[in-house]
Amino acid sequence: MDARRVSRQAARLLADTPAIAEAHFRAEAEPYDALSRPDGYLNLGTAENRLLWDLLEGRLAQLPPMTEATARYAPLHGTGVLRGRVAELLSATVGTPLDAEDLVVISGATGALDAIASVLCDPGEAIVVPAPYYGAFDTDLGGRSGARILPAPLDPADGFRLTASAVDRALRRAREEGVTVRAVALSSPSNPIGEVHRPEVLAELLRVVRAHDVDLIADEIYAHAVFGGEAFTSAADPAVNPDWAGRTHVVWGFAKDFGLPGLKTGVLHTRDPRVREAARALAYFAPVSTATQHTLAELLADREWVASFLAAGRLRLGASYGHLTGLLEAYGIPYAPAGAGFSVWLDLGRWLPAAGFEGEELLWRELFEKAKVSILPGGAFRSPRPGWFRLCHTVDAPLVAEAVRRIAVHLGLPPQTGPHDPTPSPAPRNGSRP
């Protein structure tokens, strides 16, 4: 029975090695606790923001219960109420009024990425993605659609900052090789790096996608998780995107900005009527529970609460980032500076026990097995250069401190100042340095 045949389209989804997922669940099953399990795992591998629950709990408890109307079938691309409230929220973020009719609510940002990729691509057609990138893009954009993901490698020398020229090169190479590219996709702000893309860079990127006549998929799920000096600019903002709005598709969700990943609620914004119609047809297969839509719509109903929640979230993120980078500097661990997101991109290249991505994988395993710290290797983000790791810092500060201490001990680094200090320190703003 084990040798049972499944379809080729399903087998494609089973090809990935589950090592990283396994690590996640092992780390979650035996978590560190200073008193009861001091040798437990520290899971800084998963991009969850655990700093927000106290802000959410009371508000969620106040919401009115579900009604008979909630329990009934509703439009499968999202209730009008939720789409209306999300449109209001994102209009401010995108910098232009969004029409609720152009929004499709769907099961997670994952579902939104799958939908837009499937609408734009047939199997074998391609999507170009600047690398390093959120590794699940391979599955989310390509797994069901059959699209090929072509990385556009960014330059390690400047900490993998996004450049339009890297995307342009990848698009040219694809054309030379006879590959039909339908879109460029990126996360903005970027995961894993936490870069907030500057308006000039986005404007240039849009000139490139326009010149190549391809669509742009902007995954802006971290749009409100911005804490640094650079304000967020949406790829759909008319200031950077005066003429490609119909070909720009924005993905967002409640997993990151609202710290509610379990609710798996994503949205796709697209202005093209036919793309929208097709995306709605795909949402039929992955709608969100009306009970959850009701909860989220009620959460958004109080604009003042939303504004203060998001502001408090940004402050906490900034403090958490500052605390982590203070520790990294104390130990002399280099990193790429971030202005958004839940993670920091560490450069452990000089400590690899062997060359190349094998060395990276080895160090990842050692950190997990010996130091019992779960962080993700750059290979999981299709990093163009081995030696980088993503560490998520959005957990209690003492856990971050303990993780950095263990990493430093493993790398043989003596502390240069008190490593156990859980007090947040201000974030550095100038480049990767030891």
Ligand X SMILES: Cc1ncc(COP(=O)(O)O)c(C=O)c1O
Is 253 a binder of ligand X (CB under 6 A)?
A: yes
Q: CA angle at residue 300 from 227 to 278, to 5 degrees? A: 95
Amino acid, res. 210: R
34 belongs to the binding site for its own copies (CB under 8 A): no
| Contacts to ligand X from residues 122-141, by CB under 6 A | 134
152 DSSP assignment: E
Partners of residue 42 on adjacent β-strands: 373
Between residues 46 and 432, which has the closer beta carbon with respect to ligand X? 46
Q: Are strands 248-253 and 265-269 parallel, antiparallel or unpaired?
A: antiparallel
Beta pairing, strands 335-336 & 343-347: antiparallel
Identity of residue 150: L
| 230 in contact with its own copies (CB under 8 A) | no
Q: Note whether 90 binds ligand X by CB under 6 A.
A: no
Q: State which amino acid sits at residue 128.
A: V
- Pick what 221 binds: ligand X, its own copies, none; C-beta below 5 to 8 Å, kind-dependent: ligand X
Based on the shown chain and the rule CB under 8 A, indicate whether residue 422 belongs to the binding site for its own copies: no
Minimum distance, C-beta of residue 396 to ligand X, in the bound complex (Å): 20
Window 42-71: contact mask with ligand X (x via CB under 6 A) = -----x------------------------
**Total residues contacting its own copies (rule CB under 8 A)?**
72
**Binding of its own copies by 349 (CB under 8 A):** no
Judged by CB under 6 A, does residue 383 bind ligand X? no
- Token readout for 11 is 């087998």
* Strand, helix or coil for residue 169: helix
Window contacting its own copies (CB under 8 A); options: 91-99, 258-266, 344-352, 386-394:
258-266
Q: What is 85-116 written as a DSSP string? A: HHHHHHHHHHTSPPPGGGEEEEEHHHHHHHHH
Q: Which residue's Cβ has the minimum distance to ligand X?
A: 108
Beta strands in 68-223 (DSSP E): 103-107, 126-131, 148-153, 181-187, 215-219
Q: What's the one-letter identity of residue 361?
A: E
- Does 219 participate in binding ligand X (rule CB under 6 A)? yes
Stretch that binds its own copies, among 9-17, 299-307, 370-378, 395-403 (CB under 8 A): 9-17
x/- binding map, residues 103-122, to its own copies, per CB under 8 A? ----xx-xx--x---xxxxx
Q: 198 φ, ψ to 5°?
A: -70, 150
**Choosing among ligand X, its own copies, none, which partner's interface includes residue 282 (Cβ < 5 to 8 Å by kind)?**
its own copies
Vertex 328: Cα angle to 232 and 316 (nearest 5): 40
Binding mask 188-227 for its own copies (x = CB under 8 A): ----------------------------------------
The span of 105-113, 197-205, 224-232, 388-396 binding ligand X (CB under 6 A) equals 105-113
